[in-house]
């Protein structure tokens, strides 16, 4: 190709905001070492043979300009000590070595295990995440995380690239003339004991926070690798609507673009030109989707560059000073900021202007580029995410994990898993553990991508996990039999899948509040149980159980039903206190392990006493608009608070002046629930609303009074005896008013309805009628639970039936 002279400048919006230079008061320095006390539990440890140190932002660490904590320096011959409130560093001032550099975590796990020596990887690391689950059938190895049961971890930042003054990446300066990577050491020591949340918060302080994701990302995504025509894709969306299963994101895999091309131009795997035989009017199709409340994303494989057959080819060639008449392909060069600028501006921007909301970056071509150490996947994530914020939009991209710092570029695509029970069984642990490197927005191929086998239980259980995952995206391969449309499955699986997908959209008010919490407080939506209970051994022994936001705990079922019992089970650990199953209403006494049995209709999703769960009410519909009807589920037994956060959906949504915050306060002792008044203002958030309140797990209250703005309401208040729930419906409540529900004589906990629950179980299971009758008589006798269990033990019951009975009989036993 013929080149012309051109000026290279990275656009301002592709330059990250950084504050990389630490404050002088935080730095302890010698001829070849520099130690920066970033917080009382976070140290930067650098060694440089030439005495020069790196003050530029790196791919993993953008910010070091933190207010330093108080610390002491003890400096004696041959020995340097630094003491903070939480750490004690001892260093011999020489080249970093295990015998010369150590850090002790004060008040840590133990005197022995809380000491790190340079070079140690750290035992009992709790794991991080992996780049991809492509082709994984079951479990895979995870990279180390930031948390360890021994209380410390180390992030090695010695080899990452750094940002220059122009906002682009460059290698670190290295000693020696050979250009090798040896010599300099750049580590971050995290010494947090078992305060895992504090560790994560400080990691976000130096690496950058998790961004707010657009509200539409929190609903159901429809995706399939399939050669759709526009007519066929519309038909699928309409079929979901007929089934009253809402969607919020429409995904088109690679066949949206030309794939059958002249081999001289490549394989067709990479493409940017709509296939107008399949989609004759792409702009009209995008408008049709948007009119039905769906965002649109397209899959791209950028590795083969921009070939001459592409509609964008001439524009891109001219922008790069090349001769389009030559017809030579423009190579994909992630190391060239000028190429990336043209790639975004000339190829992607026109497609976005025609209706594409964000991109699915499907990079499968390895971690190498022309610039040593520069992973093309990382570059794609970085520039696409920043570029998507143009015009004040809330940025979003969809791509694989590319190492520490990747949490800044949500959402993660975990890759093409195999359709097996083993794959499903790994995903809850995989998702929760990713929080240990701050990576909170995984999107899995719900139902699995390829291979494996058809199993209706597997499909339904995977959807149930997907609904209680960061992102719910149904997906499959192009094989005719692998689609995840619920109507492809048997009636019981279809019904379970559809009901859970409806639930996902009802959960959006809760999910979006947790989205704000993740961005503002550094708390991922999905957390391992040990974040909340770091000193409880049991919290580490249930790796598939996780916290889902502030109010819920999930123990997914990842095994086939027992045919006779018609149920599958999971053994969960319940922390101390009372817990309610949000589907069955059963109340459990905590502080113990419980084997929980469930039909295909549900999985154990538990709310602690006092939990407040806001949901969208009303008929299911596409999109995730702020609802005019809000249902609030409140679980009795303790007081609780929740602040519902809503916004206008713009890029400014992360700022409080573009938010509406509605406090909800449940006072168990006073017998009252108070909603609002709301604070703030934002477009799209209703000023008046209907509230549907359910206070669950309580005995029948006395007189119930409902007020708004101090005036008495003629609200409907009913007590449901079967569900032990007080229901209140209030219409037309202004956001400026406080809605209050008060029970005159307070609230009391209702006992579980154990006998009816056992009767339902016995009706359902396959067993001898005589045995059923004997079991029922024992349970209905009114004898104490311990006596009933002792009598049941003598009947020689099937293990599964006995376990299911014990769950119900002992659920709320003291």
Hey, which bits of 709-750 come out as E strands? Answer: 711-712, 716-720, 725-734, 739-743
Where do we find the tokens 């538990």? Answer: 606
Domain 626-743 bears CATH identifier 3.50.50.60: no
What confidence score (pLDDT) does residue 192 get?
Answer: 96
User: What whole-number distance in Å separates Cα of residue 663 and Cα of residue 643?
Assistant: 4
pLDDT confidence bin for 108, thresholds 50/70/90: low
User: What whole-number distance in Å separates Cα of residue 479 and Cα of residue 299?
Assistant: 18
Q: What is the mean pLDDT of residues 294-315?
A: 98
- DSSP for 370-409 reads SSTT--HHHHHHHHHHHHTTGGGPPP--EE---STTGGGS
Most distant CA atoms of the chain, gap in Å? 93
Q: Which residues contact 101 (CB under 8 A, 6 or more apart)?
A: 45, 89, 90, 91, 92, 117, 118
Name the CA radius of gyration of the chain, rounded: 29
pLDDT above 70 covers a percentage of the chain that reads: 97
pLDDT confidence bin for 112, thresholds 50/70/90: low
Decide if pLDDT at 10 tops 90. no
pLDDT confidence bin for 8, thresholds 50/70/90: low
What confidence score (pLDDT) does residue 707 get?
Answer: 97
What confidence score (pLDDT) does residue 498 get?
Answer: 98
- 230-242 helix and 282-291 helix, angle to the nearest 10 degrees: 10
Q: Is 137 buried (19+), middle (13-18) or exposed (0-12) by CB count in 10 A?
A: middle
- 508-521 helix and 491-506 helix, angle to the nearest 10 degrees: 50
For 587-622, how does the pLDDT look when each residue is reduced to its tens digit (9 = 90+)? Answer: 999 999 999 999 999 999 999 999 999 999 999 999
- DSSP for 485-505 reads -GGGS-HHHHHHHHHHHHHHH
450-488 in b/e burial notation, b at 16+ Cβ within 10 A? Answer: bbbeebbbbbbbbbbbbbbbbbbbbbbbeeeebbbbbeb
Judge if 216-527 and 626-743 fold alike in CATH terms: no
For 467-491, how does the pLDDT look when each residue is reduced to its tens digit (9 = 90+)? Answer: 999 999 999 999 999 999 999 999 9
For 682-741, how does the pLDDT look when each residue is reduced to its tens digit (9 = 90+)? Answer: 889 999 999 999 999 999 999 999 999 989 998 889 999 999 999 999 999 999 999 999
Q: Which residues contact 9 (CB under 8 A, 6 or more apart)?
A: 166
For 454-470, how does the pLDDT look when each residue is reduced to its tens digit (9 = 90+)? Answer: 999 999 999 999 999 99
- 799-809 helix and 754-764 helix, angle to the nearest 10 degrees: 160
For 180-210, how does the pLDDT look when each residue is reduced to its tens digit (9 = 90+)? Answer: 345 899 999 999 999 999 999 999 999 999 9
Q: What strands lie across the sheet with 552-554, from one edge to the other?
A: 526-528, 546-548, 552-554, 605-608, 578-581, 587-589
User: What whole-number distance in Å separates Cα of residue 147 and Cα of residue 435?
Assistant: 10
**Kindly report the CA angle at 574 between 568 and 578, in degrees rounded to 5?**
115
Decide if pLDDT at 22 tops 70. yes
Q: 21-25, 116-120, 376-380: lowest mean pLDDT where?
A: 116-120
Q: 209-218, 552-561, 651-660: lowest mean pLDDT where?
A: 651-660
User: What whole-number distance in Å separates Cα of residue 533 and Cα of residue 575?
Assistant: 8
Please provide the CATH number assigned to the domain covering 12-207: 2.60.40
What confidence score (pLDDT) does residue 82 get?
Answer: 98
What confidence score (pLDDT) does residue 6 get?
Answer: 43
Q: 115 or 173: which carries more pLDDT confidence?
A: 115
What confidence score (pLDDT) does residue 5 get?
Answer: 39
What confidence score (pLDDT) does residue 175 get?
Answer: 46
3-state secondary structure of 565: coil
Number of residues that this document lists for the chain = 814
Each domain of the chain, given as residue ranges in start order, spans 12-207, 216-527, 626-743, 752-814
In the DSSP assignment, the letter for residue 606 is E
H-only helix segments in 243-312? 282-291
H-only helix segments in 74-212? 196-207
H-only helix segments in 196-275? 196-207, 230-242
What confidence score (pLDDT) does residue 107 get?
Answer: 83
3-state secondary structure of 26: helix
- Write down the mean pLDDT value for the chain: 95
The top-level CATH class assigned to 216-527 is alpha beta
For 328-363, how does the pLDDT look when each residue is reduced to its tens digit (9 = 90+)? Answer: 999 999 999 999 999 999 999 999 999 999 999 999
> Is the Cβ–Cβ distance between 342 and 316 less than 8 Å?
yes
Q: Kind and range of the H or E element at 463?
A: helix 456-467
What confidence score (pLDDT) does residue 178 get?
Answer: 38
For 233-272, how does the pLDDT look when each residue is reduced to its tens digit (9 = 90+)? Answer: 999 999 999 999 999 999 999 999 999 999 999 999 999 9
Q: Is 629 buried (19+), middle (13-18) or exposed (0-12) by CB count in 10 A?
A: middle
């Amino acid at each position: 190709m013929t080149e012309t002279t051109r000026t290279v400048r990275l656009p301002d919006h592709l330059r990250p905001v950084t504050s990389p230079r630490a404050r002088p008061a935080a730095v302890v320095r010698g001829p070849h070492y520099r130690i920066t006390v970033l917080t009382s539990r976070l140290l930067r440890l650098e060694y440089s043979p030439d005495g020069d140190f790196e003050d530029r932002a790196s791919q993993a660490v953008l910010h070091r300009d933190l207010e330093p904590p108080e610390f002491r320096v003890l400096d004696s011959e041959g020995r340097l000590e630094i003491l903070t409130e939480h750490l004690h560093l001892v260093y011999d001032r020489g080249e970093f070595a295990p015998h010369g550099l150590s850090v002790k975590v004060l008040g840590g796990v133990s005197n022995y295990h809380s000491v790190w020596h340079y070079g140690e990887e750290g035992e009992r690391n709790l794991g991080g995440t992996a780049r991809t689950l492509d082709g994984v059938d079951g479990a895979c190895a995870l990279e180390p995380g930031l948390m360890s049961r021994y209380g410390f971890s180390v992030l090695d930042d010695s080899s990452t690239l750094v940002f220059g003054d122009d906002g682009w990446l460059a290698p670190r300066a290295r000693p020696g003339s050979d250009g090798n990577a040896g010599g300099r050491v750049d580590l971050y020591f995290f010494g947090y004991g078992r305060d895992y949340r504090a560790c994560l918060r400080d990691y976000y302080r130096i690496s950058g926070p998790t961004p707010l994701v657009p509200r539409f990302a929190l609903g159901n995504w429809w995706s399939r690798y399939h050669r759709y025509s526009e007519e066929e894709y519309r038909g699928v969306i309409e079929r979901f609507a007929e089934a009253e299963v809402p969607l919020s994101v429409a995904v088109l895999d690679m066949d949206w673009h030309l794939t059958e091309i002249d081999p001289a131009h490549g394989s067709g795997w990479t493409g940017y030109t709509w296939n107008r035989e399949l989609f004759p009017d792409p702009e009209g199709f995008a408008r049709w989707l948007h009119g039905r409340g769906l965002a649109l994303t397209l899959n791209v494989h950028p590795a083969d560059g921009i070939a001459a057959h592409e509609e964008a080819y001439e524009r891109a060639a001219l922008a790069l000073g090349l001769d389009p008449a030559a017809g030579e392909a423009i190579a994909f060069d992630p190391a060239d900021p000028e190429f990336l600028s043209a790639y975004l501006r000339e190829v992607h921007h026109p497609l976005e202007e025609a209706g594409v909301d964000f991109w699915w970056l499907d990079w499968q071509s390895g971690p190498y580029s022309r610039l040593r150490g520069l992973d093309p996947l990382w570059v794609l994530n970085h520039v696409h995410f920043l570029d998507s914020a143009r015009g004040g939009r809330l940025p979003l991209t969809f791509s694989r994990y590319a190492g520490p710092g990747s949490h800044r570029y949500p959402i993660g695509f975990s890759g093409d898993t195999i359709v097996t029970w083993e794959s499903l069984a790994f995903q809850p642990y995989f998702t929760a553990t990713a929080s240990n490197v701050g990576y909170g927005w995984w999107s899995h191929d719900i139902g699995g991508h390829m291979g494996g086998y058809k199993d209706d239980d597997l499909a339904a259980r995977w959807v149930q996990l997907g609904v209680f995952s960061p992102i719910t995206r149904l997906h499959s391969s192009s094989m005719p039999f692998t689609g995840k449309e619920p109507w492809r499955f048997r009636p019981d699986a279809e019904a379970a899948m559809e009901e859970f997908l409806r639930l996902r959209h009802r959960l959006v008010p809760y999910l979006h509040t947790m989205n704000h919490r993740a961005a503002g407080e550094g708390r991922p939506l999905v957390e391992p149980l040990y974040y909340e209970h770091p000193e409880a051994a049991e919290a580490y022994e249930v790796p598939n159980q996780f916290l889902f936001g502030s109010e819920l705990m999930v123990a997914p079922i990842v095994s086939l039903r027992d045919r006779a019992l018609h149920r599958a089970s999971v053994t969960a650990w319940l922390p101390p206190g009372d817990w309610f199953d949000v589907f069955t209403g059963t109340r459990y006494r905590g502080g113990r392990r419980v084997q929980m049995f469930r039909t295909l209709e549900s999985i154990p999703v538990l709310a602690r006493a006092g939990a407040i769960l806001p949901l969208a009410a009303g008929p299911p519909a596409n999109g995730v608009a702020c609802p005019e009807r809000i249902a609030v589920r409140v679980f009795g037994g303790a007081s609780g608070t929740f602040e519902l956060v809503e916004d206008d959906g713009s890029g400014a949504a992360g700022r409080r002046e573009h938010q509406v915050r509605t406090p909800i306060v449940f006072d168990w002792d006073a017998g009252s629930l108070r909603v609002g008044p709301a604070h703030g203002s934002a477009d799209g958030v209703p000023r008046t609303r209907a509230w549907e309140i359910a206070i669950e797990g309580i005995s029948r209250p006395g007189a119930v009074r409902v007020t708004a703005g101090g005036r008495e309401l003629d609200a409907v208040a009913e007590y449901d005896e079967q569900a032990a729930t007080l229901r209140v419906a209030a219409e037309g409540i202004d956001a400026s008013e406080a809605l209050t529900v008060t029970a005159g004589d307070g609230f009391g906990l209702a006992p579980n309805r154990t006998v009816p629950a056992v009767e339902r179980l016995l009706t359902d299971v396959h067993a001898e009628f005589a045995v059923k009758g004997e079991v029922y008589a024992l349970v209905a006798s009114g004898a104490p639970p311990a006596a009933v269990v002792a009598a049941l033990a003598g009947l020689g019951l099937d293990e599964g039936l006995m376990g299911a009975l014990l769950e119900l009989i002992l659920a709320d036993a003291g």
